[in-house]
């Protein structure tokens, strides 16, 4: 007997956040990866009267109650991160100066999406608040994965980011990136220390 493949044409879950974020009204269309799953892909729309933009994330996690509702639109409360938090585990998205250049980036949290159930963070540079560009270089992607709170530490008083990677119980690499300006006043997030243990 031939196998029958059933293709589901499920509509996305439309989410509207009750509170504004940095003055933006935020909505999202979420597509589940599987029946009953609360993780999948999401397209966020940030709107102000004078401008709007959208970003897409391949991995996002919704609260289970939002997935279980059989309604067209779900309303959720937005939780902002604490002022000193760079990698927030309770905020679905937020604006923060993640590379210490004086401009805020958009951060979208994929709760428990990364290695060992840690959170992953997609960081977007929002040029003129209308053209989001995903930051994919180190330290915003590390060892082939998006930034993770398991492998990343922000040290704001030094304007630096420390990343590490281990293989099991053994530390393999630890790198420190620091915000510096050259003699011409050009800013960069520079690798200032790189330790490897083979």
pLDDT over 90 (residue 149)? no
Q: Model's pTM, two decimal places?
A: 0.85
Q: Strand 39-47 vs strand 25-32: parallel, antiparallel, or unpaired? A: antiparallel
Give the other-Cβ count within 10 Å of 122's Cβ.
25
pLDDT, residue 155, reads 95
- Mean pLDDT for the stretch of residues 110-118: 70
Q: Could you give the count of Cα atoms lying within 13 Å of 32 in the half-sphere of its Cβ?
A: 17
Least confident interval from 84-88, 96-100, 126-130, 144-148? 126-130
Q: With CA atoms as reference, report the closest residue to 45 among 122, 108, 89.
A: 108
* Rounded mean pLDDT, 66-94: 88
Q: Comparing C-alpha atoms, which of 164, 162, 151, 149 is closest to residue 119?
A: 149
CA distance 141 to 118: 14
| The pLDDT value given to residue 4 | 42
Give, rounded to a whole angstrom, the gap between the first and last alpha carbons of the chain.
Answer: 53
Query: How many helices, marked H, and strands, marked E, lie in the chain?
Result: 1, 15
What is the Cα–Cα distance from 120 to 89, expressed in whole angstroms?
9
CA distance linking residue 105 with residue 147, whole number of Å: 14
pLDDT of residue 6: 39
Domain boundaries, the chain: 13-196
State how far the Cα of 169 lies from the Cα of 130, in Å rounded to an integer: 43
């Amino acid at each position: 007997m031939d196998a029958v493949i059933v293709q589901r044409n499920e509509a996305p879950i439309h989410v509207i956040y009750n509170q504004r974020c940095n003055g933006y009204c935020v909505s999202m269309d979420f597509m589940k990866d599987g029946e009953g799953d609360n993780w999948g892909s999401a397209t966020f729309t940030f709107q102000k009267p004078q401008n709007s933009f959208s970003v897409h994330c391949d991995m996002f996690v919704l609260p289970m109650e939002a997935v279980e509702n059989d309604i067209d639109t779900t309303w959720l409360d937005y939780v902002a991160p604490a002022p000193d938090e760079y990698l927030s585990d309770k905020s679905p998205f937020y604006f923060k100066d993640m590379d210490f250049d004086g401009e805020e980036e958009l951060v979208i949290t994929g709760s428990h999406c990364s290695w060992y159930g840690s959170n992953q963070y997609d960081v977007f540079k929002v040029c003129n608040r209308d053209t989001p560009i995903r930051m994919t270089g180190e330290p915003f992607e590390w060892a082939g994965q998006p930034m993770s709170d398991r492998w990343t530490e922000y040290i704001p008083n030094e304007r630096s980011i420390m990343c590490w990677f281990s293989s099991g119980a053994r530390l393999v690499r630890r790198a420190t990136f620091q915000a510096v300006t050259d003699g011409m006043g050009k800013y960069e997030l520079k690798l200032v220390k790189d330790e490897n243990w083979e």
